[in-house]
Amino acid sequence: MAHRITWSSTPPEFDKAVFMSCDAGMLLPSCYLGHQILAMERERDFDVILCVTDRSIIPEPLLDIGIRYLEVEPGMVFEDLPNSELITPAAYLRLVVIDLLKDDYHRLLYVDGDIVLRRPGLGELLAAPMEHAVYAAPDAADFRADKTYEHYTGPLGLKPEFFYRNSGVLLVDSKAAAETKVMQRVLDYAQANHEKLVHHDQSALNGALKDDLGLLSLRWNFQVIEPLMEWVDRIDPVLLHFVGRQKPWRAPEGSIRHVYRRGYDTFFIDHGVSLPAPPARISKSSKSARLARIPGKIWRYLTNPAKALRAKKQWQDETGFEQFEINETRLQAILDAKQAL
């Protein structure tokens, strides 16, 4: 069954778009981000889109806030691909949506729903000249001093000089992506390499595209983690990405994310909506996906068991995600990369 758009709340207005795709668990934060973009980008020349597989999950009060909603029939079962309670099967939906939107938009910017717009500037990125079909910013793990990123770059066969990308923000040249079948390559890689997808869709993106993946500056995907916060003024990010388990809409007082919670709370109250219960800590991965990841785990323990054990403990600990030293040489190389947009 081919993927297709089954419903659109409004027709396209511009030929560029910022889009999100999500399931019910991330719907309200994604709506907040869309609302925020519409409010702050006052001279925008792009649409703001939110894609779902079931339009009934969209609360009626949010249907008229300026977002273009799309209902998508993906044409494949994402549940069979590696996923978890944090990275659900909906993470793969963006790959299908990029292909579906190619006729309406020549330039697309995908953003995760756990992102906040810090300042206007998305129009600048959407207008930037592109030499690659897809661009993404480095993942914070890439410049960890303990080289934990090798935990999931190793299975992908990436070169040490390669900047491992985060899939939370993707800039896409729709025509070039369609001509080179970029998104299909990523999906094919994901389906054929379950054991290598330590970081799920993100691993598939890096593994499938490698050097064909353009580099975005961290100002377009600044991952909010404690060790990186001292670099905020220098990088001056446009988008703040709240990676990890602790999201700003549930952030406890005193955390670095709590300052952003008020915006979410106000939006939810003003529109008469409330967040669903937080996800259970038990993985919702399908049995086949969990089994498929076993070879990758074995590979990591065989190549460096001590590091694998440290990584497992650190990534399972919510606060441990925040506690690491930055490899400043590596980070500086990222900031100095001339090819970055």
CATH of residue 155: 3.90.550.10
Q: On the CB side of 26, how many CA atoms lie within 13 Å of its CA?
A: 26
pLDDT at 7 over 90: yes
**Residue 202: half-sphere exposure toward Cβ, Cα within 13 Å:** 26
- Whether 90 shows a pLDDT value over 90: the answer reads no
pLDDT band at 21 (very low <50, low <70, confident <90, very high): very high
Fill in the DSSP letter of residue 251: P
Whats the size of the chain, residue-wise? Answer: 341
Q: Which domain holds residue 63?
A: 4-336
* pLDDT at res. 313: 46
Percent of the chain with pLDDT over 70: 83
Query: Is residue 179 in a domain?
Result: yes
- The average pLDDT across 189-209 equals 91
Alpha carbon distance, N-terminus to C-terminus of the chain: 37
Residue 190 included in any domain: yes
- The verdict on residue 341 lying in a domain is no
Q: Strand 213-215 vs strand 222-223: parallel, antiparallel, or unpaired?
A: unpaired
22, two tokens: 């999500």
Residue 202 placed within a domain: yes
pLDDT value for 146: 79
- With CA atoms as reference, report the closest residue to 222 among 128, 64, 115: 115
Which tens digits make up the pLDDT trace of 294-339? 555 555 556 666 555 554 544 444 444 556 789 999 899 999 998 8
Question: Are 219 and 238 within 8 A, CB to CB?
Answer: yes
Number of domains forming the structure of the chain: 1
Instruction: Read off the tokens for 139.
Output: 């993942």
Residue 218 is assigned to a structural domain of this protein? yes
Predicted local distance difference test score (pLDDT) of residue 161? 84
